[in-house]
Amino acid sequence: MIPTKWNNPPVNNRNLAAERHESLSRRGFFRGMGACIALPALESMYPSIALAAKATKIAPTRMAFLYVPNGTIPGAWWPTGDAGTNFELSPTLAPLAKVRNQVQIISGLADDSAEAGPDGAGDHARAGGTFLTGVRVKKTAGSDIHAGISIDQVVANQIGHLTRFSSLELTCDAVRKAGDCDSGYACAYVYNLAWRSAMQPLSPEHNPRFVFERLFGVGAPAERVANLKRRQQEQHSILDYVMQDAHKLDASLDGRDRQKLDQYLTSVREIEQRIENSERLVVKNPSVDAPAGVPASYQEHIALMFDMLLLAFQTDSTRVATLLIAREGSNRSFDEIGIAEGHHNLTHHQNKPEMMEKVRQIDHWYVQRLAAFLEKMEATKEFDGQSLLHHSMILYGSGNADGNHHTHSNLPVVVAGSGGGKLKTGRYVKAESTPITNFYLTMADAMGAQGIEKHGDSTGRFA
């Protein structure tokens, strides 16, 4: 049993105006929510598809990528002591003490595609756009966005059919900046971690309520599954109809118009697929209320998104997820811990101690959020007696290493969970400079993906 608690979060100021006109679909629901609810015993939460796995007494492996922006203060990040199990957590990573044996800290991972090369300024946009794709993103303000497929989607393409959602894309960065995002790079690179293809970013969801309703349906706990079923039935004929429309149109279009239509077509197909799978993949409905909306506090928002991620994994709704905790280059101030300056401004500290200390506090604050999530994951037991964390691989990191210098080697990365025993944990690994994509291949292997020889700039498996 794990308690999942969300205290009826007040609505975020930024969306106040918007949320005040409560949207139609939800009018009347979600009044009087909140309080502290415990999830039902985990075993009953398993969809039937997992029964096969259950027969072999091994729970499935999950994988998530969590992104934090602007790098970290390296000196405060890296553990002291030798590589191996005998290391001391650094001040920044100290909050991980309770899950120390479930994490590994890896140095030496690099994202070379984010280096300036011929493209000049724009290290933040590149760091964001390359993090999971491993390819040099095209420098464009918007006419020809081009990155590459991200590793989560590579894996989702192979194992996505085993769960109701092939992948889940989440963000805690709800508000978009107008204008340019970074030195002539389109904003798509910094707001989207997951890319279905080089030209199709997968926009993440920022509202925890919508994440919940998408996973489990709308309404009171007892009605949810029925509501979801009814909605799917209603949608069936609509999807059939628009599919025909799209096919006809597709034939008459060219070039980029056709690419847009194809994105639409494949999206419709995926929804249809999910409906077709709904007999096979049963919704496991957690008997908790949906969250009310986007909380006013950033800390609450992150905590709720982590809860949603945990629920999605726990109910085996998906096995692949990405969470953009904040966009690369974020200049958010941290009034929560008395820091009025913008995060990005601070990271260009030029070794001024007060500024470095503030960045370290921000780094530490983010790791605290991570630690709370990992502890919950560890406390959640699977039917085989192991923890949900044990069966997961949670990669937390940034595409910038030292925000002060915009370096992209020796990235700050923590990997939690052993992917069901396939990765070693409780250790500090000092690797030679290695593309981070090599590590992704190792993770993909652990997920059971087959035949992936290369991803982005990878040069082999992470040893």
| 1 lines the binding site for another protein (CB under 8 A) | no
CA distance 135 to 113: 6
CA distance 277 to 246: 22
> Closer CB to another protein, residue 166 or residue 387?
166
Contact indicator for 439, 422 with CB cutoff of 8 Å: no
> Tokens for 412?
């700050």
Exposed / middle / buried, residue 62 (Cβ in 10 Å: 0-12, 13-18, 19+)? buried
Which 177-196 residues touch another protein, going by CB under 8 A?
177-180, 182-184, 186-188, 191-192, 196
When binding is defined by CB under 8 A, the residue of 254, 279, 432, 453 that contacts another protein is 254
Query: What is the x/- site pattern for another protein, positions 209-238, by CB under 8 A?
Result: -x---x----------------x--xx-xx
Comparing C-alpha atoms, which of 96, 1, 10, 2 is closest to residue 291? 10
Type of residue at 174: A
The DSSP letter of residue 71 is -
Q: Which stretch binds another protein (CB under 8 A): 86-94, 267-275, 411-419, 427-435?
A: 267-275
| 80 lines the binding site for another protein (CB under 8 A) | no
Query: What is the x/- site pattern for another protein, positions 114-143, by CB under 8 A?
Result: --x---xxxx-----------------xxx
> Closer CB to another protein, residue 34 or residue 47?
34
When binding is defined by CB under 8 A, the residue of 249, 282, 372, 452 that contacts another protein is 249
Query: What is the x/- site pattern for another protein, positions 313-342, by CB under 8 A?
Result: ------------------xxx-x--x-xxx
Contact indicator for 194, 169 with CB cutoff of 8 Å: yes
Comparing C-alpha atoms, which of 197, 159, 168, 167 is closest to residue 449? 159
What's the min distance (Å) between Cβ of 160 and another protein? 11
What secondary structure does DSSP assign to 106-127, as a single string? Answer: EEEEE-GGGS-GGG-S-HHHHH
Type of residue at 372: A
> Tokens for 171?
């963000």
What's the min distance (Å) between Cβ of 126 and another protein? 11
What's the min distance (Å) between Cβ of 444 and another protein? 21
When binding is defined by CB under 8 A, the residue of 1, 18, 41, 220 that contacts another protein is 18
Which 348-377 residues touch another protein, going by CB under 8 A?
348-350, 352, 355
